[in-house]
Amino acid sequence: MLSRRKLLQSSAATGLTLAAGGLAAPALGQGAKIRLGYVSPQSGPLAAFSDADGFIIDGFLNSEAGANFEVIVKDSQSNPNRAAEVAKELIIDDEIDMMLVASTPETTNPVATTCESEEIPVISTVAPWQPYFIGQQGNPGDPNSWRPFDFSFHFFWGLEDVISTFTAMWNQLDTNKSVGAIFPNDGDGNAWGDPNAGFPPVLDAQGFSLTDTGRYQNLTDDFSAQINAFKAANCEIVTGVPIPPDFTTFWTQAKQQGFNPKAASIGKAILFPQAVEALGDHGHNLSSEVWWSPSHPFASSLTGQSAGDLAARYTATTGKSWTQPIGFAHALFEMAANVMGRVEDSRDPDEVTSAIAATQLDSMVGRIAFDGAGLPPFAAQNVAKTPLVGGQWRLKDSGGYELVIVENSKHPNIPTGGAMEEIS
């Protein structure tokens, strides 16, 4: 089957483009708006990642640059198959010029893979680069087969960054270096637990022992086997990358069964205030990666707002606490405006792709440039790395939680607000 781009090319001689259903329609006029497709998990267990999407998109469309765009949003329903399906709809039926996608490999990978197949430029974020990149390859087990993508670009941090951040936080404490891992059977869990590219070899090299009971299925309702194994190994540290409801189940059962580690550094599940608040007082001093916060020293290329300004406006507008995806959702639309501002024909996938590859943007999440910095050669063309620090959730005297940055050794320009503390 021909890609959407090839179908468009085949009709170019008549001055027509293909509309929904494959019917001929007049070519877009000079004043037509640029059409962006956006896929994220608006519902399902990953929905917390998309809480700020409406706020960000409204702000973008009301900005000076956003006046030139139309944004068509689709819900992945936290399902990879659905993500691929709605991506195809956006490309074929809605005739988008560029795709944006965010929030975990279960969303980014199927959308990026679909865009590669259809030859439509796509920019993704909010997934570590390894599961994003490796998950799209035909044979993830053979690094020699990995190749750059033609239309897919991604900005975020990598496993090397979260491992470095977590171990630096643990090294601030006095522990026996025994670590228990809860890695699910999904894109993130398989990458984090990978014996070659994940946590195991790095922890071993740094003198940590790892108890990994294997991959479990998302939405598991009983973590007794993992908890018993961690207690038997005297694990004083727990790490993992569960979805939010699974960590709530695990941590509640751990407390019930008398498992009380000194540190629990958890990716994905406790990024959001509501996920920690659901644990009551048991969320105090849980730790996680911090990709973005109001104290990050970055500003928007669209509005000039600082990170603190954007977070404050989100709270004032929605009545909700800031969350980390705010900065990266904003940066996706910064990228769209920057890229499309450097092309003559937004309908030309090759021109748009070349513009993405040439990006050098100071954004709400820091510098985004596909220059290969900090990356292996096979990923250098398609990935741009962003900074990562570590933080702990602390109960506030006034109620609720605040996220305090406690580890910034790789990025000292991002200020800390305290030091790592044991879970009490």
pLDDT for res 4: 52
Q: What is the mean pLDDT of residues 229-242?
A: 98
Of residues 32 and 212, more confidently modeled: 212
Q: Does the pLDDT at position 63 exceed 70?
A: yes
Q: What is the mean pLDDT of residues 293-305?
A: 96
pLDDT for res 19: 30
pLDDT for res 30: 53
Q: Which of 231, 195, 233 shows the shortest CA–CA distance to 214?
A: 195
How far is the C-alpha of 415 from the C-alpha of 89, rounded, in Å?
A: 43
How far is the C-alpha of 168 from the C-alpha of 173, rounded, in Å?
A: 9
Q: What is the mean pLDDT of residues 259-279?
A: 93
How far is the C-alpha of 244 from the C-alpha of 299, rounded, in Å?
A: 29
Instruction: Say what the pTM is.
Output: 0.88
DSSP codes, 211-234? EE---B-TT-S--HHHHHHHHHTT
Burial 74-87 (b: 16+ CB within 10 A, else e): bbbbbbbebbbbbb
Q: What is the mean pLDDT of residues 166-188?
A: 96
Confidence of residue 67 (pLDDT cuts 50, 70, 90): very high
According to DSSP, residue 255 is labeled H
**pLDDT per residue as tens digits for the range 111-148:** 999 999 999 999 999 999 988 888 777 665 676 777 88
pLDDT for res 92: 97
Q: Which of 225, 131, 126 shows the shortest CA–CA distance to 181?
A: 225
Coarse DSSP helix, strand, coil percentages of the chain, rounded to the nearest 5 percent: 40, 20, 40
Q: Which residues pair with 147 in a beta bridge?
A: none
- Distant-in-sequence, close-in-space partners of 197: CB < 8 Å, separation ≥ 6: 130, 134, 159, 191
How far is the C-alpha of 363 from the C-alpha of 367, rounded, in Å?
A: 6
How far is the C-alpha of 352 from the C-alpha of 122, rounded, in Å?
A: 10
**pLDDT per residue as tens digits for the range 310-343:** 999 999 999 999 999 999 999 999 999 999 999 9
Q: Does the pLDDT at position 152 exceed 90?
A: yes
Q: What is the mean pLDDT of residues 378-393?
A: 96
Q: Does the pLDDT at position 1 exceed 60?
A: no
How far is the C-alpha of 299 from the C-alpha of 313, rounded, in Å?
A: 14
pLDDT for res 400: 87
Which percentage of the chain shows pLDDT scores above 90? 81
Question: Average pLDDT over the chain, rounded to whole?
Answer: 91
pLDDT for res 131: 86
Q: Does the pLDDT at position 29 exceed 50?
A: no
How far is the C-alpha of 56 from the C-alpha of 327, rounded, in Å?
A: 9
